Structure 1
């Protein structure tokens, strides 16, 4: 019997789980934890004949682990050991160990929160921190706290930071399985690669084929890189029939995945080009060489835009170690890392949990179905981020899954039971009364796939989802479609999944697919991505964001469309997949979301209030027509807003109005009971002092009819109006008989500008404000130029006049310059009258 490194840790694990409810097992890649631990615990007395459920992050790993364990006890899958994954279940009444993918556990918990009949839940490869794993663990911990004190929970990983997990589990011990089965030599690059990833990877494969023996496992971020690397290698190895190049990713059919995992035929070698699907819980027979590009593709959700996008990011140190460990599972191995050792110092130690950067709509719906609207009621390693969770609940409320008080509705429970993303589940359920259920199932399954057409140099140029629906609806079509080479495995998966949903929802159809209804169905799933054309292939989304086609598309001129896939980069997100929709269809499908409003607002371009009746769908204006008779109060509010926006200077400020304002401000300095008539204060109180006088007005030209001085005076009390002329007179009479206006522009120093000759005989400076403030006298020459400023006129006559007189007499010899100004005759002429 084969001995695995994990075997030495099994006695400690058994002993601890016998006395405690939780354990954390850390074992290096290749130690055998995935296939040895469940079998070792199957006959433990505390299990009492109940089942073991083990979660695997990926379907391929779940199926492979179940097959390996079943074979190790001489059985077929489905007897003692079985599995449950999406669209594939192999269990029976005798099954004791179920290997499941993580979403299946959530369904189990929702159906039976106590998990009756299950004694142990194992979270394998927990370091990957998938959203479903975090949610499943949180729900299991609450289930144990509320219903099942005896439920055991074990968390396993090769590269897990174990302490936080052990603390979360409460009484968990961290058990280590030391050592890897075989050593792995690590080789870094001497310098940073300068060529494309695919070219660098192909060169590394050719080098490894020359330097080492055995099969090669290559890690690349996605299917596009796999396809391009395979193409380069096929050209270079065309003459060597002993090398097989095999892809391995989650979208391959099962037989293609099995070929990549199976041993190479005698006399041949295989090069497996894989995504991170091969990082954990898989033994790829014959592998002793790993080539790691150092990149992976992860989904990231933006709460600001409400959209997710796939980003290519550097792997963490933990993931790189997982990948390297694949080379040492069956013997001494070699790992080629396509980065420098110095570069690795900048890698993160661990990856970012999916929970921290994913769309949380499904999680929020599951928690609502569980009975909580606050994630902090549960125990998490990382609490779901508030902005993304809040936006998820807003979406669920929008589609009717949550009530106004935040509780799940009956409709929300139906959405949860379907197991699809809430958007797609809502689309399918709403389509049934419209007679479009069969089409919606096919469209939903299609949207769950990347695309049914292979992308590459012969990329399909059309983003039109209708063409894909039509190709799927024609069951005879396969291989070459009208948009290019079809991915037959993807086509099969989409059709199978659509058939499963159709049967589960009891949708009877005749097989006819309504491709023209594609836009309407998308509007149900993505109401925030309904788009209105604004010219040049650019669109405005109902969520307020911009979108555009990156290349020439016949849909670029559509008045309206719905974007199913956007890349969420830049100001205008690139539209990847979409379908057109008519205005009439929008008004039918989105009737409850369309608002009709009267818009009465100030338009600066015309300096007037304009009234419109608008129908809106979010940020999109569907109709905009003149409103001939807007409400009077709305017009006044808009007009006042326009005055505040343009500045109070657009009002008819006559000299009389400004002097009124300045006189009141002067008096306010002496007594704060007087109103504040600064421009800023008047702007902030337009509702109070101006609103009653602008009814019936709509434009700047209308405002010019206002008597602003009278309106300002109307804000004064009766007593203030009585005192205004006494304390702040508009004019002061001087000895010449002239009435000279008082300048209150500087409220700290009201002034009188008057020619010197008109003041002969005035012995004292005039006072205002009940004798409290002396007027500042600006004494002028006959040409009205200033010659002296004083607040003490008597002193001026005594001390300064004679020096001023000499200068003025020289410049104005014809004018009257008496030697005794105190007794001289005042005049506003050159000389006084005889």
Structure 2
């Protein structure tokens, strides 16, 4: 209610109300009236005698003094700046390295040579060229020390830490903030103890990504290797409990000496696992009657799966299985255009029940390919098989 009785815009009314509490209400009125009337202010309006007077401004300021019935002491720039900053903290800005950053968030390129790096309170500014740049018309420079001394409650501190796995460093930042502005920043780096982090597979995967962000196939190889080893272990095979962690640590050592892709290949010689048995029971690829080296994809929480054309499975009575026949492979049967036709773990039932229904429409759509009545019998190559590997 007190603010609503002040005949100024909300921002300026808040400034006046605070200035009145500070005992400088009358003294600050000419500046507020000039801002209210849209007059062009001097570059540094708080300097003694900087604010030009006009009949219109003086007349309006006088009316407001009478209406608001406020007494006032002489205003100093510091008291006036307090009134503005306490009520409009978002008008603080920082100029650094050719960029003007506002406490409210936005940043602008700024190359006006009349301004030096530092902190400013902005009285009047104008965004230009679709907010891609800004012009400052009226400001008040201030020091960080003054800000810290007079506004300790407005200043906040935050901490941020980041792990740089590629450099094996932990980086910590402590920042002094005013809104979106970073007033000061302190950075500290320390050597990271990878041995304590590596058993965490997510951290280790992030480590691989930072080492070689382009090596998606390498990371896929590693994650599938982990999945194969875990499945091998859960099936009662003899793998030491800390085997994966030891593999990770060994890989970190290797990565200091060889390329990432070569290091993962070298891993096959590490540890106590029976690699021959692992590759036999949970292979990376399998052979189908009409296609060799089909990739087996291992995903956590799901059965391994393969994707290949339906014709590649002709000649199989049942689907391939892993772990000595105890783990069925999910089969993604594709049409000749490599789009999915069927997904199944029971190839025998698919041949008997679903294939006869699909055979006729497939023959119409792909007449150049063979669609035998009995797909369990191996057929001769299709005309286009010379292009397949």
CA distances 1:272-294 after superposition (whole Å, capped 9, x unpaired): xxxxxxxxxxxxxxxxxxxxxxx
Q: CA deviation at 1:664?
A: 5.5
- Listed as ranges, the matches of 1:593-608 within 5 Å are 593-602=154-163, 608=169
Q: CA deviation at 1:740?
A: 7.8
1:583 to 144, 163, 184: 144
Q: CA deviation at 1:525?
A: 4.4
CA distances 1:253-273 after superposition (whole Å, capped 9, x unpaired): xxxxxxxxxxxxxxxxxxxxx
Q: What's the counterpart of residue 17 of structure 2?
A: 429
Q: What's the counterpart of residue 515 of structure 1?
A: 77
Q: What's the counterpart of residue 770 of structure 1?
A: 324
Query: Secondary structure, in 3 states, of the residue corresponding to 1:568?
Result: strand
CA distances 1:736-787 after superposition (whole Å, capped 9, x unpaired): xxx989642632699xxxxxxxxxxxxxxx9742325799xxxxxxxxxxxx
Q: What's the counterpart of residue 49 of structure 2?
A: 470
- Listed as ranges, the matches of 1:382-421 within 5 Å are 413-421=1-9
1:546 to 98, 107, 111: 107
1:564 to 91, 102, 123: 123
Q: CA deviation at 1:627?
A: 6.8
Gaps of 5+ in 1: 1-412, 454-461, 473-485, 630-634, 674-692, 694-699, 707-724, 734-738, 751-765, 776-834
- Listed as ranges, the matches of 1:39-438 within 5 Å are 413-438=1-26
Q: CA deviation at 1:497?
A: 3.1
| Residues 1:744 and 2:284 aligned together | yes
Query: Secondary structure, in 3 states, of the residue corresponding to 2:183?
Result: strand
Query: Secondary structure, in 3 states, of the residue corresponding to 1:470?
Result: coil
CA distances 1:59-111 after superposition (whole Å, capped 9, x unpaired): xxxxxxxxxxxxxxxxxxxxxxxxxxxxxxxxxxxxxxxxxxxxxxxxxxxxx
Query: Secondary structure, in 3 states, of the residue corresponding to 1:593?
Result: coil
CA distance in 1 between partners of 2:9 and 2:132 (Å): 27
Q: What's the counterpart of residue 30 of structure 2?
A: 442
Q: CA deviation at 1:616?
A: 0.9
The answer to whether the Cα contact below 8 Å between 1:615 and 1:623 also exists between their aligned partners in 2 is yes
Q: What's the counterpart of residue 532 of structure 1?
A: 94
Q: 1:655 to 1:594 in 2, by over 3 A?
A: closer
Q: What's the counterpart of residue 59 of structure 2?
A: 496
Q: CA deviation at 1:575?
A: 1.6
CA distance in 2 between partners of 1:646 and 1:439 (Å): 62
Flag the structure with larger Rg: 1
CA distance in 2 between partners of 1:532 and 1:701 (Å): 46
CA distances 1:499-555 after superposition (whole Å, capped 9, x unpaired): 444444443234x3423555444323432221112134x3111112124667442xx
Q: 1:530 to 1:645 in 2, by over 3 A?
A: farther
The alignment's C-alpha RMSD in Å is 5.1
**TM-score, length of structure 1 as denominator length:** 0.26
Q: What's the counterpart of residue 134 of structure 2?
A: 573
**TM-score, length of structure 2 as denominator length:** 0.51
Q: 1:494 to 1:624 in 2, by over 3 A?
A: same
CA distance in 2 between partners of 1:560 and 1:648 (Å): 40
Q: What's the counterpart of residue 275 of structure 2?
A: 730
The answer to whether the Cα contact below 8 Å between 1:602 and 1:610 also exists between their aligned partners in 2 is yes
The answer to whether the Cα contact below 8 Å between 1:518 and 1:579 also exists between their aligned partners in 2 is no
The answer to whether the Cα contact below 8 Å between 1:730 and 1:742 also exists between their aligned partners in 2 is no
CA distance in 2 between partners of 1:504 and 1:471 (Å): 26
The answer to whether the Cα contact below 8 Å between 1:729 and 1:742 also exists between their aligned partners in 2 is no
CA distance in 2 between partners of 1:583 and 1:493 (Å): 37
CA distance in 2 between partners of 1:702 and 1:748 (Å): 25
CA distance in 1 between partners of 2:206 and 2:222 (Å): 21
The answer to whether the Cα contact below 8 Å between 1:539 and 1:547 also exists between their aligned partners in 2 is yes
Q: 1:658 to 1:447 in 2, by over 3 A?
A: closer
Q: 1:426 to 1:416 in 2, by over 3 A?
A: same
The answer to whether the Cα contact below 8 Å between 2:125 and 2:134 also exists between their aligned partners in 1 is yes
Q: CA deviation at 1:448?
A: 1.0
CA distance in 2 between partners of 1:649 and 1:547 (Å): 32
Q: 1:628 to 1:566 in 2, by over 3 A?
A: same
Q: CA deviation at 1:557?
A: 0.7
Q: 1:613 to 1:501 in 2, by over 3 A?
A: farther
CA distance in 2 between partners of 1:561 and 1:446 (Å): 20
Q: What's the counterpart of residue 367 of structure 1?
A: none
- Listed as ranges, the matches of 1:29-48 within 5 Å are none
Query: Secondary structure, in 3 states, of the residue corresponding to 1:443?
Result: helix
Q: CA deviation at 1:665?
A: 8.4
CA distance in 2 between partners of 1:641 and 1:506 (Å): 68
Query: Secondary structure, in 3 states, of the residue corresponding to 2:135?
Result: strand
2:226 to 630, 644, 661: 661
Gaps of 5+ in 2: 191-195, 213-217, 236-244, 255-271, 286-294, 299-303, 305-319, 330-389
CA distance in 2 between partners of 1:641 and 1:768 (Å): 27
CA distance in 2 between partners of 1:730 and 1:525 (Å): 71
Q: 1:640 to 1:649 in 2, by over 3 A?
A: same
Q: 1:521 to 1:705 in 2, by over 3 A?
A: farther
CA distances 1:434-485 after superposition (whole Å, capped 9, x unpaired): 44433432321221122257xxxxxxxx622234x6244xxxxxxxxxxxxx
CA distance in 1 between partners of 2:5 and 2:251 (Å): 63
CA distance in 1 between partners of 2:58 and 2:250 (Å): 68
Q: 1:433 to 1:608 in 2, by over 3 A?
A: farther
